């Protein structure tokens, strides 16, 4: 069996590099076209609101299914079996919150950002500042995790080993080049193509991702005569865990023999993670702004239905990919490549290519899946960048600094520069963090979204009494408690080293200032966010029943909702 890093030939790398180049060329072409469509603020922030339900459904899928879900979940299933699947289910069920409670009402009542809805009946500046801070924190944490991952991935996908060079790059240089290239591309898509460009990049990615996952899944299944049961048995047999591979408890909620405290902590951590995943999705700023890209709330509903279908199908396919990688590639070959299993899916693609068409097709499949992974990273980081730049320009610059007096042209100009600023900061942070363990940032982003954003959005739509202080306290309490608890948790310091001697925390292994036992703060921070929103509200006399009435009427009927622009 070929293992990428060990016998990656220059021919294989060449195919990978060519596919990457084609992808970059196509997406830049789309960006140039999109930049000509982008004139007004509505064009920049919301792509003119002219996307169809199917288009937006694919774009949501493209935005949402990050490299962490594609490579991460497939890898977790390959190494830990059932628990990777458990993780993916939280990501899917969460879409019902978006469908039933958020998408349509947000589309009807807001313009460009989440803060439009939350600040609707409140004092603009404090609420928009809070919402903007929360949006930026969530987006930049998420961005950082993606970009550090991107650097490592580019090095891995090119198969550059320690002490080896390709095109004059060592593995370390390739990591930095990967981060910088991804950063420059995302800034280009966003600042030139705006939401139209970003959306098409996401659609292209979603189609590639679904196509790639479907192809590899079918090929794997056909190796087992389409008998999923025997694939599962093979996966369990070749894993280290045996039958337990097919049961929960290998990765999350792990039972530690003889340590009742740690066992309890692990189980609470699983519940905490589950809560953050299911409640966080509908509070992620880059997801929320996608609901503004369609003409009306009915189309927003349709697009979420499409997204649920696409995302659900994809996670079912990752089950096949993950078990397939465990069965066909094998535990050892996967961990040899990457201890977290991030290369399980590309390795599987290469293996099935080899099986059906020989070495050359193995290389082609590997390159194709590598390009899919690259597209996956690009489209998610572009979505995060536009969410940050829209919030900076629309909420912070225009509403807070300029008190709503900035012209559309000015707001768009600021948004373009904000994208460059966010990109530059993320590149620098990612380069510094490239060798740190930052995978926890994705779960943290979901926890902040669930604690700070979702409660304030729902309360502002449904609780008449809700007011400025409630919104501001709710957002800051949710944000500070999630970030603070994670800071004092084992993911930041004091988790120690794994069997191979790798540091498991962010800080060096000899530093330990942790006192909060859970790695996922949601179990505490979600109630804290909600509680402060309620206490803040009740401690202030401010209330505007007429604006609330208008907000609710608008959210439910769509009267006065923003319309699509026509070119």
Which spans of this chain sit near other proteins (rule: CB under 8 A)? 82, 85-86, 89-90, 92-93, 95-97, 99-101, 229, 232-233, 236, 243-244, 246-249, 252-253, 255, 267, 270-271, 274, 278, 298, 301-302, 304-305, 308-309, 312, 315-316, 545-546, 549-550, 552-554, 556-560
Q: Which is nearer to other proteins, 125 or 550 (CB)?
A: 550
Residue-by-residue DSSP string for 366-399: HHHHHHHHHHHHHHHHHHHHHHHHHIIIIIIIII
Q: How far is the CB of 92 from other proteins (least distance, A)?
A: 6
* Helix 260-280 and helix 522-538, axial crossing angle in degrees, nearest 10: 60
Q: Which is nearer to other proteins, 238 or 339 (CB)?
A: 238
Phi, psi of 500 (to 5 degrees): -85, 0
Q: What angle do CA 258, 259, 263 make, to 5 degrees?
A: 120
Question: CB-wise, 278 or 477, nearer to other proteins?
Answer: 278
Is the CB of 168 or the CB of 229 nearer to other proteins? 229
Q: How far is the CB of 558 from other proteins (least distance, A)?
A: 5
In the complex, the smallest distance separating the C-beta of residue 319 from other proteins, rounded to whole angstroms, is 9
Residue with tokens 């193995």, as numbered in its chain? 362
**Between 166 and 245, whose beta carbon lies closer to other proteins?**
245
HEC sequence for 221-283 = HHHCCCCHHHHHHHHHHHCCCHHHHHCCCCCCCCCCCCCHHHHHHHHHHHHHHHHHHHHHHHH
Least distance (Å) from other proteins to the CB of residue 89? Answer: 5
CA–centroid distance for 37 within its chain: 27
Pairwise CA distance, residues 166 & 48, whole Å: 43
- C-alpha closest to that of 381 among 90, 212, 181, 209: 181
Nearer to other proteins, 299 or 388 (CB): 299
Shortest gap between Cβ of 229 and other proteins (angstroms)?
Answer: 5
Shortest separation between residue 297's beta carbon and other proteins, angstroms:
8
- Residue 100 or 511: which CB sits closer to other proteins? 100
* Nearest alpha-carbon partner for 385 in 196, 132, 186, 201: 186
| Min separation Cβ 415 and other proteins, Å | 25
Say how far apart CA 477 and CA 469 lie, in whole Å. Answer: 12
Least spacing, CB of residue 372 vs other proteins, in Å: 23
How far, in Å, CA of 343 to CA of 367, rounded? 12
Q: Of 74 and 136, which has the nearer Cβ to other proteins? A: 74
């Amino acid at each position: 069996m070929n293992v990428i890093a060990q016998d990656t030939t220059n021919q294989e790398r060449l195919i990978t590099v060519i596919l990457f180049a084609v992808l970059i060329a196509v997406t830049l072409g789309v960006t140039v076209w999109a930049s000509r469509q982008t004139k007004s603020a509505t064009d920049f922030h919301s792509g003119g609101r002219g996307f169809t339900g199917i288009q937006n459904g694919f774009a949501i899928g493209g935005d949402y299914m990050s490299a962490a879900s594609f490579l991460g979940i497939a890898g977790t299933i390959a190494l830990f079996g059932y628990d990777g699947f458990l993780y993916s289910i939280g990501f899917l069920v969460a879409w019902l919150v978006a469908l039933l409670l958020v998408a349509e009402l947000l589309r009807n009542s807001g313009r460009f950002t989440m803060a439009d809805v939350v600040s609707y009946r409140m004092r603009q500046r404090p609420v928009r500042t809070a919402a903007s801070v929360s949006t930026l924190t969530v987006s930049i944490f998420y961005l950082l995790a993606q970009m550090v991952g991107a650097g490592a991935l580019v090095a891995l996908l090119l198969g550059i080993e320690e002490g080896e060079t390709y095109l004059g790059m060592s593995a370390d240089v390739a990591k930095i080049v990967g981060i910088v290239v991804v950063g420059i591309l995302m800034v280009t898509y966003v600042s030139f193509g705006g939401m139209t460009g970003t959306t098409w990049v996401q659609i292209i990615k979603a189609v590639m991702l679904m196509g790639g996952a479907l192809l590899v899944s079918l090929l794997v299944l056909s190796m087992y005569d389409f008998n999923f049961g025997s694939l599962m048995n093979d996966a369990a047999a070749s894993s280290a865990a045996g039958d337990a591979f097919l049961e929960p408890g290998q990765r999350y909620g792990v039972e530690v023999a003889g340590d009742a405290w740690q066992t309890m902590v692990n189980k609470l951590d699983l519940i905490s993670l589950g809560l953050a995943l299911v409640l966080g999705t509908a509070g992620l700023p880059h997801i929320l702004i996608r609901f503004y890209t369609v003409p009306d709330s009915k189309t927003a509903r349709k697009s979420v239905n499409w997204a649920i279908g696409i995302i659900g199908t994809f996670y079912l396919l990752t089950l096949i990919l993950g078990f397939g990688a465990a069965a066909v590639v094998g535990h050892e070959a996967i961990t040899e490549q990457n201890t977290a299993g991030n290369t399980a899916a590309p390795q599987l693609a290469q293996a099935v290519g080899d099986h059906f068409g020989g070495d050359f097709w193995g290389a082609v499949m590997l390159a194709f899946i590598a390009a899919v992974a690259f597209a996956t990273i690009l489209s998610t980081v572009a979505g995060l960048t536009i969410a940050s730049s829209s919030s900076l320009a629309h909420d912070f610059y225009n509403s807070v600094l300029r008190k709503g007096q900035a012209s559309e042209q000015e707001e768009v100009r600021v948004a373009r520069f904000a994208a460059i600023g966010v990109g530059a900061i993320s590149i620098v942070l990612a380069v510094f963090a490239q060798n740190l363990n930052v995978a926890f940032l994705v779960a943290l982003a979901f926890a902040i979204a669930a604690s700070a954003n979702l409660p304030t959005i729902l309360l502002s739509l449904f609780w008449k009494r809700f007011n400025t202080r409630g919104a501001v306290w709710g957002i800051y309490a949710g944000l500070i408690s999630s970030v603070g608890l994670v800071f004092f948790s084992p993911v930041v310091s004091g988790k120690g080293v794994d069997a191979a001697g790798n540091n498991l925390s962010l800080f060096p292994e000899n530093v330990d200032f942790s006192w909060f036992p859970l790695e996922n703060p949601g179990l505490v921070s979600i109630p804290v966010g909600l509680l402060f929103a309620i206490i803040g509200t009740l401690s202030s006399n401010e209330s505007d029943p007429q604006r609330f009435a208008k907000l609710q009427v608008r959210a439910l009927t769509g009267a006065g909702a923003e319309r699509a622009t026509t070119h």
